[in-house]
Chain A
């Protein structure tokens, strides 16, 4: 108890003398700030992608892919298979008795708008808009079957790019008209174009859908539904809850982004450890006489050592907080594009916790050799 109080007093004492020897701690603060800035900036990509990908998913919405297809791009679902799934009793029906199920054709198409030269856009063709109840059409209407019509989100950036209601775009040389705009959902849907599934398939010369989307009577019925689908040998389908499939689709990108973050973060952290060891040594050397005197008037060596460690941790944490705040201010919510996806960077509590933990670990690791040196000279009594 006494030694804890001693350590607290000594730490406060030590911190008060910091401004007089600002050079060494400044090195640690700058190194930590730089390392955390880079680390948090990189982490925000993976976190942003994850939040964006799982945003707006429904627990009662299921997706069916052909067996073994890891992503919708590789899935092939025929009309016959869709017809047999559509009558499943687990699927919810709307007030008029129509089952909330749709066959979906998802394809990345080169879309040419009048504003820019063109680019790849994910186009979702659905046989029924009812499986996407969160899509509220603000202006215009849903595309009709048989007509080259599209529905786009009302995201302002898209409007500038020539995807406003009434605009014409070219897909495989043929003109398509934007006939409706829906309210932003804050999710992946904001970057896709909706249309009718069969119209899309015939326009691109394909004959099979890529997946089936259905809304179940309740989210709790998923496992029974999945069981029925799995055990029907003619279907050859795998059932996924929407959030799980979405995560799985983007998991490779997420893993890649996280790997890069931790790899670069680790190199910068190693550099920060060197800076912290140096500045801790400098602090011990600068206070050699002071520490010796304190030892002589009765403060315990463990308390003195603890005060050195506390100082290092606080300085390191200060650097980490600065780095976090600067990055948060500059990057949080900013849109980035990678691998054809555009999503906002996200910096949250998790990123803060990770960088604070790193900062503390770095400081603890870095204070070992200087504390060992201090205990040596305090123990031997050679203060001068």
Chain B
């Protein structure tokens, strides 16, 4: 009767008091228990993997958005009109503001390339101030010079270059929604260089053009720009300057609506709604179903092995040791599944960016999430294994072995 078990039990285990240390020593025994019903455990393991993969992806998405907001530039403010445009002349007014180091404006030119669905935005800018305010935008000095000297020149963002494969020196022709002075909506540009965005590479899905060319060629919205980027000298003063600008211009012809970089980041991710709440709700529901599934499986497993546990008790295993053995079995399933699931999420999530329209968001699963998942898995393993473990530890040897 003892034969199938004896090679698995190290003799020393009998004398060790029940503790977590002995539970770890029982690992081979726990694995043997799992191996008894391989199909069932493999299926539950798969279930754990799927749920934790989902958990990892949702929480990873949430964490990535928090990270993007935390990375916001504390020394940067955006001055807009709250709808509509602002006059470019406001630049001088903003530059005089105490605490303001540099001001850059941009005027949008929405266009399409080849087909109506190939939407692309051009930004009319002044290169000197623009590259000074937005330090994360970088272009080779030579190309920047060429851009300044070529009226119809454009700097193409790295992401846009990947989309349309425009070459240096190429002359491109776009259909834009803003008509030129002669009524034509076909705009022609010369590609004189490329720029990259070092922090959020997908922000470079635009091209930069010289504001004077844009402004003098368009028939509408002359001397109007969409937004100002303001770099402040002291990040600690940013909040005061933010309110100061709006207050100073409130009664002018062009009242402004100023926001911080982090507010803008928050706004642009708002489309995913209250993702934190949704992620938590879905993860909770998924984990709940796992709890039931693993709990039921452990109970079935204990039921099938009643005789075995009775024998173990008969040869000296204490009830706490049996308890630990069953819990270890549950923990192995949960923690292995959680680790595999989170790893899969870490592989899949970076590719999900395009699928969920969050092209301006760098998605990744932070390593800390792996640790959190293990903790959650460990805790739930104890909960789901509690009843079966308690049942196994309270088995009456005489009853179980009576029929044998």
Give chain A's interface residues, CB within 8 Å of chain B. Answer: 23-24, 26-27, 30-31, 33-35, 37-38, 66-70, 74-76, 78, 107-110, 118, 120, 123, 171-174, 203-208, 236, 252-253, 256, 259-260, 263-264, 267-268, 270-272, 274-275, 277-278, 281-282, 336-340
Contacts and interface: CB of A to CB of B under 8 A. Distances in A.
A208 B270 CA distance: 29
Nearest to A45: B273
B357 A208 contact: no
Contact of B355 (A206, A259, A277): A259
A90 to B, nearest CB: 25
Contact of A275 (B221, B251, B282, B293): B293
A66 B175 CA distance: 12
B257 A110 contact: yes
Given A109-B84, A264-B54, A34 B44 contact: no
A38 B286 contact: yes
A15 to B, nearest CB: 19
A103 B175 CA distance: 23
A110 B110 CA distance: 22
Contact of A205 (B84, B257, B292): B84
A69 B177 contact: yes
A27 B177 contact: no
A205 B224 contact: yes
A264 B300 CA distance: 30
Contacts of A207: 220-221
B81 interface: yes
B175 to A, nearest CB: 6
Contact of A278 (B44, B83, B270): B44
Given A76-B220, A109-B84, A38 B119 contact: no
B179 A76 contact: yes
Given A34-B285, A35-B289, A259-B356, A268 B84 contact: no
Nearest to A29: B292
Contacts of A268: 50-51, 54, 286
B285 A38 contact: yes
A299 B235 CA distance: 82
Contact of A206 (B51, B85, B271, B288): B85
B15 interface: no
A252 B51 CA distance: 28
A172 B84 contact: yes
Which of A31, A34, A70, A123 is most buried by chain B, counting CB atoms within 10 A of its CB?
A: A34
A30 B83 contact: no
Contact of B84 (A30, A206, A270, A271): A206
B43 A256 contact: no
Given A267-B54, A274-B50, A340-B270, A172 B81 contact: yes
25 contacts: A23-B296, A34-B288, A37-B285, A66-B177, A69-B177, A76-B179, A76-B220, A107-B84, A171-B83, A172-B82, A172-B84, A172-B254, A204-B81, A205-B81, A205-B85, A205-B87, A236-B185, A274-B44, A275-B43, A278-B40, A282-B40, A282-B300, A336-B273, A339-B271, A340-B270
Given A76-B177, A206-B221, 6 more contacts: A31-B289, A38-B285, A38-B286, A271-B286, A278-B293, A339-B270
Given A172-B81, A278-B297, A338-B271, A271 B51 contact: yes
A257 to B, nearest CB: 10
Contact of A337 (B175, B254, B255, B273): B273
A251 to B, nearest CB: 12
Interface of B: 39-40, 43-44, 46-47, 50-51, 53-54, 58, 81-87, 110, 112, 116-117, 119, 175, 177-179, 185, 220-221, 224, 249-252, 254-255, 257, 270-273, 282, 285-286, 288-290, 292-293, 296-297, 299-300, 355-357
Contacts of B83: 107-110, 120, 123, 171-172, 204
A74 B288 CA distance: 47
B293 A30 contact: yes
A111 to B, nearest CB: 8
Given A109-B84, A110-B83, A339-B271, A256 B357 contact: yes
Q: Please list the 5 inter-chain residue pairs (A to B) with the smallest Cβ-Cβ separation, ordered nearest first.
A: A173-B255, A110-B82, A204-B84, A109-B83, A34-B289
Which of B58, B87, B286 is most buried by chain A, counting CB atoms within 10 A of its CB?
A: B286
B113 to A, nearest CB: 11
A277 B37 CA distance: 14
Given A27-B293, A31-B293, A208-B220, A281 B300 contact: no
Nearest to A286: B300
A68 B112 CA distance: 8
